[in-house]
Amino acid sequence: MRLTIAKKIAATITAVVMLSIGTMAWITSQNLKRGFISYLGEIEQQDLRKLSRLLAETYQRDGNFDRFYHDRENLQELLDQLHPLPPDNSKASDTPVASGEESISPASVRQRRRATPPDLMGFTQRLSLVDARGTTIIGPKEAADALDGSRQNIVVGQQVVGSLRLAPLQNISNTSGLDFVRIQIQQTIWLAAGLILMALILSIYLARHLLRPLGSLHKVAKRIAKGQFQARAVVLNQDELGELSKDINSMARSLQENEVQRRQMLADISHELRTPLTVILGEVEALIDGVRKSSPEAMASLHAEVIHLNKLVDDVRQLTLADAGDLRYEFARIDIIALVRAVIQRYTLRLQKAQLTMQIDFPAEPAFVRADAGRITQVISNLLENSIRYTDSPGTLRCTITTSRNFVDITMEDSAPGVPPHAHALLFDRLYRVDLARSRAHGGSGLGLSICKALLSAHDGEISAMPSSLGGLAMVIRLPLIK
């Protein structure tokens, strides 16, 4: 039988309750037995004190305990006085009674003996009478020598003339006492059984109630596993299972968005690859058919298309490696200000040919970051390439570096044309282009900014786009500083 979580929870709760209540019932029954025996022991102590006073009176009258030597009948007469019967209003005896003496006939004694309740607790059998020399007059010697028994001295005047010793009550031997304890234990057991049954019912209900959302989560997970990313779990509770439902829904949304992006990217890449391949195919067919003669210009056109195709394939490969976490980085402590300055210097001639003026605003003090110099150079170069490619001539570029306590910000700005405000967040999407100003005619693959974002994420950095005060676009790179 397969044990579900609901069954495990119900079984666990029931087992804990059974153990707790069973232990409580056992302890309660044991305490009841001990308490009842202790209660009986206190009653016997009271009887023992009364009997010692009666024996003291007997000793004071007789001067010894000789009448009790191995004669339990005489002791029984005293024991009968501990619990006197109510007065008998029956016909008095015809036997003459001396003045000042109580009339006790053998018949009345036998009647009193029959009316006296039996010794249910074995008080008489456990009782021993010991004289002042320590000699056991009556009763079992082992009871007299018991260390854990009760002892009551018999005192006449200021002198101890003997003692009563009572062996401890080990168990309940009479029927009434046993019935009382048995009834109490039975009631405790029935109460424990009822509580366990109630706990079982409540645990089953509680387990089903708590795990009810798992049914919805199970169905949603199976649908997601089959590629149905539009599946959503119903959030029934606000507890941990409710949070899990929300997380699964968030995961499903992310998978759905990624699937849409994947399909769109495949379609865009196919379209991007088709364009240079179509041009190359047309050029080659024209050369084969003799429509176009082989010339340096024709070879240069084919070479440019191949370079564009190779660049696109390389960008796709880099982005795929970045997503998979397979790009290798050689992190080191570098001065980011010196690195950016060196990259800009390499673009001096290209900026002059494009009739673009470069403005820089760098701090005098170095700013150190933990980064891969080659990858950061790739990011800065990509941004400069975009500015040179898309900024109208004559124009202006500006690079500003500012530092705070924990971060360094690198801002790359250019002049017109700008980007519509709604497109700023979309610039980092793969193969996204802004019409006109960021057209395919300029030769971009549409993957450069996506690669920059992936590279900076590996450096615990970020990049964002915003309008530039120069009229174009501003790209802001933020990297964490190190000491």
- Tens digits of per-residue pLDDT, 308-367? 777 777 777 777 777 667 678 889 999 999 999 999 999 888 899 889 999 999 998 999
Name the burial class of residue 222, with classes exposed (0-12), middle (13-18) and buried (19+) by CB atoms within 10 angstroms of its CB.
Answer: exposed
Under a CB-based contact definition with an 8 Å cutoff, are residues 459 and 405 in contact?
A: no
Contacts by residues 247-256 (CB-CB < 8 Å, ≥ 24 positions apart): 248/217, 248/220, 248/221, 248/224, 251/224, 252/220, 252/224, 253/229, 255/224, 255/229, 256/229, 256/230
Instruction: Summarize the confidence of residues 26-34 as an average pLDDT.
Output: 76
Q: Do 267 and 352 sit in the same domain of this protein? A: no
Whether 86 has a pLDDT exceeding 90, the answer reads no
Q: How far is CA 351 from the centre of its chain?
A: 61
Q: Do 266 and 356 sit in the same domain of this protein? A: no
Under a CB-based contact definition with an 8 Å cutoff, are residues 456 and 479 in contact?
A: yes
Q: Give the residue from 324, 355, 375 where a domain finishes.
A: 324
Q: Do 49 and 66 sit in the same domain of this protein? A: yes
Q: Do 269 and 372 sit in the same domain of this protein? A: no
Q: Residue 179: how many CB atoms within 10 A of its CB?
A: 11
Whether 98 has a pLDDT exceeding 60, the answer reads no
b or e along 350-376 (b: 16 or more beta carbons within 10 Å of the residue's beta carbon)? ebeebebebeeebeeeebebebbbebb
Instruction: Summarize the confidence of residues 31-57 as an average pLDDT.
Output: 79
Question: Residue 283 maps to which CATH number?
Answer: 1.10.287.130
Q: Residue 291: how many CB atoms within 10 A of its CB?
A: 9
Question: Residue 361 maps to which CATH number?
Answer: 3.30.565.10
150-156 and 159-166 beta bridge pairing = antiparallel
Q: Do 356 and 294 sit in the same domain of this protein? A: no
Whether 478 has a pLDDT exceeding 90, the answer reads yes
- DSSP character for 408? E
Query: Residue 202: its pLDDT value, please?
Result: 81
Instruction: Summarize the confidence of residues 387-398 as an average pLDDT.
Output: 90
Across 24-38, 241-255, 285-299, 328-342, the highest mean pLDDT is recorded for 328-342
Is 294 within the bounds of a domain?
Answer: yes
Range of the domain at 360: 332-480
300/322 Cα distance (integer angstroms)? 32
Task: Measure the CA dihedral 17/18/19/21, to 10°.
Answer: 80
User: Residue 167: what residue type?
Assistant: A
Q: Do 166 and 21 sit in the same domain of this protein? A: yes
Q: Do 432 and 414 sit in the same domain of this protein? A: yes
Q: Do 114 and 249 sit in the same domain of this protein? A: no
**Over the stretch 328-343, which tens digit does the pLDDT of each residue have?**
888 999 999 999 999 9
**If pLDDT is split at 50, 70 and 90, which confidence band does 1 have?**
low
Q: Give the residue from 267, 298, 324 where a domain finishes.
A: 324
Using a pLDDT cut of 70, give the percent of the chain over it. 79
451/428 Cα distance (integer angstroms)? 8
Is 80 within the bounds of a domain?
Answer: yes
Query: Residue 112: its pLDDT value, please?
Result: 47
Q: Do 340 and 471 sit in the same domain of this protein? A: yes
389/354 Cα distance (integer angstroms)? 9
For residue 466, give both structure tokens: 């915003």
Q: How many domains does the chain have?
A: 3
Q: How many CA atoms lie within 13 A of 14 on its CB side?
A: 19
